[in-house]
């Protein structure tokens, strides 16, 4: 009789624990971030991968809307890429800003040529549905679109030229450190001529659909899930890019791990790390702009998030995320390219339009999330670490709503 009672109590306890775990996943499922991808002027045309730091598939289908605003600024710069091996070797002996190369014609001084100028506040709109397939699998579908703007107040309060230059002039950075005031505030100048003589040009209020993304996540059941509160998921990614400049298909793969710590006084701490790689333009549907000759884009992310649950069962979460992405162009070209720009007129960064295509990109993201069983609201700010202005400063807000079964 005693054994039966103990078995009944054990069974009821298991049901209660399972129910609590399911209920908790309706409110807080790991680190459920908004989309914090940058508004990079090349990246917006490809289907980059958002890191997934959730423990498991959602209990219900989740609909999400994500709005992002980023200030991108690169003064006009030209680049020559000599074709002759002897010239490349000669130029590689000098630092990039001391190299001497004068293009005459393709017979005398054969070289590839490109130029680029980027000045705009780029706004991204993402509509997402995350659909649970079963206890281990999840499907995510995202439609992304973009709007090119001058970034005037009040629609770009934090990311406008005026706000950023006020910060530089009064707090940090000095007066007009990158030449925004020299070229004029609140302008749209978005033009890129690639080395194949194809032109990408966008104007104020231009709007385009970037593409569709399909993300499948697998959450294996492992012993460390319960014994150490460590969760791992694997993602496979397919992107259909639909803009006129890069009609193509991308594929990718990701792996992520999350460690959960339950603390006193209704606090929770999560640590996470993730990595992904994307094969850009695996299939080109038609002729595309050269948006970087490095076919693979890889990225790493790590994050720490502290969560406080309220008496009503809602939560407030604060996260610090570090993101690093590989370069868009092959590094070896940086050994011999020749850059031409207004270096006398601009205090710094006149070369960034080309130079940063050959360096990795990194940023810090500060993320706040408020969650209830009915909705989850997040906002974030992004600051680039390498001061590459692609974007210089970025903000975003996200709303996620679970659908009732």
Is residue 124 within 8 Å of residue 66, measured between CB atoms?
yes
| Residues 350 and 75 sit within 8 Å (Cβ to Cβ) | yes
Alpha-carbon gap, residue 394 to 321, rounded angstroms: 14
Structure confidence at residue 17 (pLDDT): 36
Q: Which two tokens stand for residue 264?
A: 């006193």
Over the stretch 42-51, which tens digit does the pLDDT of each residue have? 999 999 999 9
Rounded to whole angstroms, how far apart are CA atoms 210 and 205? Answer: 15
Question: Model's pTM, two decimal places?
Answer: 0.89
Predicted pLDDT of residue 84: 95
pLDDT for res 173: 80
Residues 286/269, Cβ–Cβ less than 8 Å: no
Q: Got the DSSP string for 22-87?
A: HHHHHH--SB---------TTGGGS------B-SS--SS-EEEEEEEEEEEEEEEEEEEEE--HHH
**Which of 100, 118, 117, 120 is CA-nearest to residue 109?**
100
Do the Cβ atoms of 141 and 151 come closer than 8 Å? no
Q: What angle do CA 72, 204, 288 make, to 5 degrees?
A: 70
d(CA 393, CA 222): 40
- pLDDT (0 to 100) of residue 214: 98
pLDDT tens for the chain, 405 residues long, are 434 443 443 343 343 333 333 444 457 999 999 999 999 999 999 999 999 999 999 999 999 999 999 999 999 999 999 999 999 999 999 999 999 999 999 999 999 999 999 999 999 999 999 999 999 999 999 999 999 999 988 888 899 989 988 888 888 888 888 888 888 999 999 999 999 999 999 999 999 999 999 999 999 999 999 999 999 999 999 999 999 999 999 999 999 999 999 999 999 999 999 999 999 999 999 999 999 999 999 999 999 999 999 988 899 999 999 999 999 999 999 999 999 999 988 878 899 999 999 999 999 999 999 999 999 999 999 998 777 788 999 999 999 999 976
- With CA atoms as reference, report the closest residue to 88 among 330, 358, 357, 333: 333
CA angle (178 as vertex; 172, 181 as ends), nearest 5: 95
Going through 133-206 in order, the beta strands assigned E by DSSP cover 137-149, 189-193, 199-202
Calpha distance 261→97 (Å, rounded):
50
> Which pLDDT does position 26 carry in this prediction?
54
Give per-residue pLDDT as tens, 78-136.
999 999 999 999 999 999 999 999 999 999 999 999 999 999 999 999 999 999 999 99
Q: What is the pLDDT of residue 257?
A: 98
Least Cα distance to 381 among 68, 9, 8 occurs for 68
User: 281 near 240, Cβ under 8 Å?
Assistant: no
The conformation of residue 359, written as its DSSP 8-state character, comes to S
Helix (H) / strand (E) element for 339: namely strand 338-341
The answer to whether the bond into 42 is cis (omega within 30° of 0) is no
Provide φ and ψ at 393, rounded to 5°: -145, 140
């Amino acid at each position: 009789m005693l054994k039966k009672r103990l078995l009944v109590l054990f069974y009821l306890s298991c049901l209660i624990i399972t129910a609590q775990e399911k209920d908790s996943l309706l409110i807080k499922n790991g680190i459920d971030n908004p989309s914090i991808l940058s508004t990079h002027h090349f990246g917006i045309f490809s289907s980059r991968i958002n890191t997934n730091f959730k423990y498991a598939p959602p209990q219900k289908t989740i609909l999400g809307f994500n709005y992002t605003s980023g200030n991108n600024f690169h003064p006009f710069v030209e680049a020559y890429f000599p074709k002759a091996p002897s010239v490349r070797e000669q130029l590689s002996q000098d630092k990039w800003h001391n190299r001497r190369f004068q293009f005459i014609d393709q017979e005398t001084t054969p070289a590839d040529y490109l130029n680029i100028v980027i000045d705009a506040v780029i706004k991204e709109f993402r509509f997402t549905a995350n659909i649970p397939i079963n206890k281990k699998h999840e499907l995510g579908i995202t439609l992304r679109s973009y709007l090119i703007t001058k970034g005037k107040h009040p629609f770009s309060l934090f990311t406008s030229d005026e706000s950023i230059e006020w910060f530089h002039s009064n707090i940090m950075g000095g007066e007009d450190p990158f030449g925004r005031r020299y070229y004029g505030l609140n302008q749209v100048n978005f033009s890129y001529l690639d080395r194949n003589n194809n032109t990408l040009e966008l104007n104020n209020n231009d709007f385009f659909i970037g593409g569709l993304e399909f993300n499948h996540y697998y959450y294996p059941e492992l012993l460390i899930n319960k014994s150490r509160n460590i969760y791992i998921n694997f993602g496979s990614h397919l992107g259909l890019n639909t803009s006129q400049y890069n009609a193509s298909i991308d594929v990718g793969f990701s792996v992520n791990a999350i460690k959960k710590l339950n603390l006193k006084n209704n606090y929770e701490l999560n640590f996470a790390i993730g990595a992904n790689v994307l094969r850009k333009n695996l299939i080109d549907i038609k002729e595309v702009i050269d948006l970087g000759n490095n076919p693979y884009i890889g990225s790493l992310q790590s994050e720490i998030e502290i969560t406080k649950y309220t008496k009503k069962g809602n939560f407030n979460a604060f996260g610090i995320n570090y993101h690093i992405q590989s370069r868009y162009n092959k590094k070896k070209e940086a050994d011999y390219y020749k850059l031409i720009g207004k270096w006398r007129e601009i205090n710094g960064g006149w070369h960034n339009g080309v130079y940063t295509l050959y360096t990795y990109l990194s940023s810090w993201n500060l993320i706040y999330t408020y969650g209830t069983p009915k909705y989850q609201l997040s906002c974030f700010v992004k600051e680039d670490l390498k001061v590459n202005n692609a974007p210089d400063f970025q903000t975003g807000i996200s709303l996620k709503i679970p659908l009732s079964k």
